[in-house]
Structure 1
Amino acid sequence: MKNETIRIGQTTIDFLLEAADTNGSLAMFEFGVPAGAKVPLPHSHEHYDETIYGLKGVITFTVEGKTIDIAAGETCFIPRGAIHGFNNIKQEDAKALAVITPALIGPNFFIECAEIVNVDGPPNVEKLKLVMAKYGLVPAIPKM
């Protein structure tokens, strides 16, 4: 699976380390977010932490309501249970490194999401929520 780019809409994911590579201690992937790209629903993780390291451009994360711009060389720690999401609101494409500890998520999650998102027309949000739940992600659906 390594070296195979996964595309979910406009976002790309390239796994560098999976659970099998690290005895389950961490997973690591690069993700690219073009300027103005549609991005995943805000969510939280029940059983793992996520650390983001900026590689190129600026990705704007919102963690528990606080906005954090992550540029190249900057970091952000997202503890389990924290509601977060991200956008690229700048004019330049962005790329970041994500480290998941422990390695409870891997390429299969993103492949399953891609199968739902990469269709003609709007994605089936209910199917997406089921895949998220299967991998320990809790969508944070805004109250209407």
Structure 2
Amino acid sequence: MKNKSIEDIEKRPSEFAKLVVEKLQEREILGPSVAKSTERAIKEAIPPTIKLINKMWPKDHDVKHLRAMEEAFSSQTKNPLRTLKAAGIDVTKEVEELRNAIAEITGKKPKARGSTSRGSRRGPSRNAP
């Protein structure tokens, strides 16, 4: 799959997932005991990931999208989703779909929409001053 586009990956997610796992095994990052489950997880995560990417970087993008993403992914940015939304790039739904897909892949219960760890019953956030 050398020099392939996102569209190619979207059309053949199994081929891409297999290639990633092979490369990880070649570099001894991934052992044979988890190869199949890793391949399946990558394949399942591809559709919501591509949906998120396409929303952040649409085909008809302009410079404001690039600048908004640069700012959103800066280490100084406290709320990247808010930064993107202020630039007209609302990826809230896509991020939620990706979170839910990852939760399903890992066997964890997806969080209810709109819930956060802040203000939980466990006490103050570790990030609190």
Q: Same fold (TM over 0.5)?
A: no
TM-score under structure 2 length normalisation? 0.31
Task: Give the structure with the higher percent strand.
Answer: 1
Q: Which has the higher contact order (CA 8 A, sep 6+)?
A: 1
TM-score under structure 1 length normalisation? 0.29
- Which structure has the bigger radius of gyration? 2
Task: Give the structure with the higher percent helix.
Answer: 2
